[in-house]
Amino acid sequence: MTGLHHMLIHFPIVLWLAAAALLLAGCAGRAPAWGSPVLRLILPLALLAAIAALITGLLAWSPQAIMASPLGRNKLAFALWLVTCWGVLSWLHFRHGEALFEPGLRLLTATLGILGVVLLLITATQGGLLAGVSAGVPDLLRAMGFEVYTTLRQPWWSLLVLLAVLAALVTLGRR
């Protein structure tokens, strides 16, 4: 099951990176004409592949092993946030389509797209660390105040960012 998890996880990574590029291009007003139909295809495919990878990951390692390690707990938590973020983006694109790139929703779309990429980077980094591979990203995260080897230690500024995003989303929702 471990090999299957390692194989499956690369599909949502690539599809979500491509989706993020198309979403951000759409927010900048530079989306190709074929961008929205491609997003309508790759967003649900990436979500299904991520759910399959999440399930195979949970089957490959025992829950006791995952929960015994702070890195394992972080990986699971960030993987769930990652799937949730891209699930919301998938639903929004399915529901609103091209309207996501109009001025009223453009900020929300760009914010969720960037958040999805950041969560993807952190989750993939943690997966690499669990597999024994480090690409230098943990040092970058540590410089930002995140410690990947302890459970969900957040720097103080991340709460301010969360509150700012929440206020922006409430403001957008009222419009």
Task: State pLDDT tens for residues 25-35.
Answer: 999 988 777 88
Written in H, E and C, the secondary structure of the chain is CHHHHHHHCHHHHHHHHHHHHHHHHHHCCCCCCCHHHHHHHHHHHHHHHHHHHHHHHHHHCCHHHHHHCHHHHHHHHHHHHHHHHHHHHHHHHHHHHHHHHCHHHHHHHHHHHHHHHHHHHHHHHHHHHHCCCCCCHHHHHHHCCCCCCCCCCCCHHHHHHHHHHHHHHHHHHHC
Token representation of residue 68: 């015994």
What is the reported pLDDT for 1?
59
What tens digit of pLDDT does each residue of 121-170 get?
888 888 888 877 777 777 777 787 777 777 665 566 666 776 787 777 76
What is the residue extent of each domain of the chain? 2-174
pLDDT of residue 64: 86
pLDDT digits (tens, 9 = 90+) for 50-71: 999 989 988 888 888 888 888 8
CA dist 126 and 137 (Å) reads 9
Mean residue pLDDT of the chain comes to 84
Residue 80 to residue 20: CA distance in whole angstroms: 18
How large a percentage of the chain has pLDDT more than 90?
29
Distances (CA, A) of 70 to 8, 41, 48, 75, 168: 24, 35, 27, 8, 32
Q: Quick one: pLDDT at residue 105?
A: 86
Cα gap 140→46, rounded to integer Å: 27
